[in-house]
């Protein structure tokens, strides 16, 4: 279960516990207050009875005083046929303007509580009553609290996630710049030594191969420098760059692995940083190679649409377990024995932040393979 738990899950569990405890406690208070209000209504009925049977003016005045003190519980007095006799603590303006208002409130009270029935001089009478303003507030309070907690949680999660993403971006940008800077000096020195070797033994095959490796190292250093800052996007033919990358990796891939590019056109012009996009494609293909144990197929499908360009990179490798799909773009996450877990996170940064597109796992199945999708919006 630990693989499904993180700090967001714990926050939600704590919030649910707080809301559950609050709901339970509030419902207890509301029940007690409702019982107290029913007792008050019964006392109100007792006062009406005293008024009916007492001829003592002092008792009558005291009874009136008790009746006037009820300023919170709305109630309606009716006869045994529910004909309205009087009302108390209803909206006086609505009572004056709307003749059916009291009748509607009576129907509402009838649904809320059973009436308190008593015998009077003229026959039986009933008291229907509603809930006080305080009791209504108490009942609604947990839902207001739940809304506030949910909003607060969303804000906290968004703030922490944004802060983490910003910190990660700063770390990777700083690391990339420093790596490019550190590679610069030895590469310049190596280029000088290679020039000396070339001048002394022109046409030496070993020197030419070393020159190719040096150019490759310079390209890697250039990529790191571009990751550390926003690159300039230039309109290029995406098909040509992808063909070159596929050809480059095919020569270095195991002989039983076939890499194929499928496209209906030979020219798709896209604003891009060529070296960085090559890095993205190279990362995806190398991950596919690692997942296939030396044999299988890698199919790259390029689809040119009006609003966007779609690139699907599919392999016939091991696939990715469902619980790992959301983690594979997290910096530092890797399933390899040797690896830093930076390739896919940097690839996602290049596609989404620099090219304003998106990179995600379109489909994966353990034992059958994985498809990554890149979307470049025009």
Query: In this structure, what DSSP letter does residue 357 have?
Result: -
Helix (H, G, I), strand (E, B) or coil at 124: strand
pLDDT at 235: 92
Could you tell me the pLDDT band of residue 75, with boundaries at 50, 70 and 90? confident
Q: Is the pLDDT reported for residue 163 higher than 80?
A: no
How far apart are alpha carbons 250 and 288 in whole angstroms?
A: 12
How far apart are alpha carbons 344 and 361 in whole angstroms?
A: 11
Mean pLDDT of 199-223: 78
Query: Regarding beta strands 358-365 and 308-315, do their DSSP bridges make them parallel or antiparallel, or are they unpaired?
Result: unpaired
Counting other chains too, the contacts that 206-211 makes at CB distance below 8 Å and 24 or more residues apart are none
Q: Is the pLDDT reported for residue 24 higher than 90?
A: no
How far apart are alpha carbons 332 and 342 in whole angstroms?
A: 6
How far apart are alpha carbons 342 and 330 in whole angstroms?
A: 8
Could you tell me the pLDDT band of residue 4, with boundaries at 50, 70 and 90? very low
Asked if 311 and 239 count as a contact pair (C-beta separation under 8 A), the reply is no
DSSP bridge pairs for 303: 310
Complete domains list, the chain, with CATH:
2-130 (no CATH), 155-229 (1.10.287), 231-377 (3.30.565.10)
pLDDT at 61: 66
Helix (H, G, I), strand (E, B) or coil at 311: strand
């Amino acid at each position: 279960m630990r693989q499904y738990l993180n700090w967001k899950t714990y926050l939600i569990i704590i919030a649910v516990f707080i809301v559950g405890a609050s709901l339970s406690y509030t419902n207890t208070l509301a029940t007690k207050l409702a019982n107290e209000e029913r007792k008050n209504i019964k006392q109100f009925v007792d006062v009406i009875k005293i008024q009916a049977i007492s001829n003592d003016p002092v008792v009558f005045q005291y009874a009136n005083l008790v009746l006037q003190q009820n300023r919170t519980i709305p109630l309606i007095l009716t006869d045994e046929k529910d004909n309205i006799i009087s009302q108390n603590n209803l909206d006086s303006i609505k009572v004056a303007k709307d003749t059916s208002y009291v009748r509607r409130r009576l129907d509402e009270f009838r649904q809320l509580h059973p009436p308190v029935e008593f015998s009077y001089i003229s026959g039986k009478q009933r008291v229907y009553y509603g809930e006080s303003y305080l009791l209504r507030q108490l009942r609604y309070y947990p839902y207001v609290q739940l809304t506030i907690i949910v909003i607060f949680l969303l804000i906290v999660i968004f703030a922490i996630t944004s802060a983490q993403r910003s910190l990660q971006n700063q770390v990777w940008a700083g690391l990339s710049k420093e790596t490019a800077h550190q590679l610069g000096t030895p590469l310049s020195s190596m280029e000088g030594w290679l020039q000396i070797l070339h001048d002394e033994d022109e046409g030496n095959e070993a020197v030419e191969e070393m020159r190719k490796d040096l150019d490759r190292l310079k390209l890697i250093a250039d990529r790191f420098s571009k990751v550390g800052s926003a690159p300039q996007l230039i309109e290029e033919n995406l098909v040509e760059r992808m063909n070159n990358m596929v050809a480059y990796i095919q020569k270095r891939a195991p002989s039983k692995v076939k890499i194929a590019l499928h496209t209906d056109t030979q020219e798709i012009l896209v604003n891009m940083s060529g070296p960085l996009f090559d890095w993205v494609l190279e990362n995806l293909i190398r991950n596919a190679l690692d997942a296939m144990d030396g044999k299988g197929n890698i199919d790259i499908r390029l689809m040119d649409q009006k609003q966007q360009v779609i690139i699907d990179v599919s392999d016939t490798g091991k696939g990715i377990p469902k619980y790992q799909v959301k983690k594979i773009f997290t910096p530092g996450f890797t399933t390899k024995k040797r690896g830093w877990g930076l390739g896919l996170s940097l690839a996602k940064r290049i596609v989404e932040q620099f090219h304003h597109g998106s990179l995600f796992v379109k489909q994966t199945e353990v034992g059958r393979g994985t498809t990554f999708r890149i979307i470049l919006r025009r």
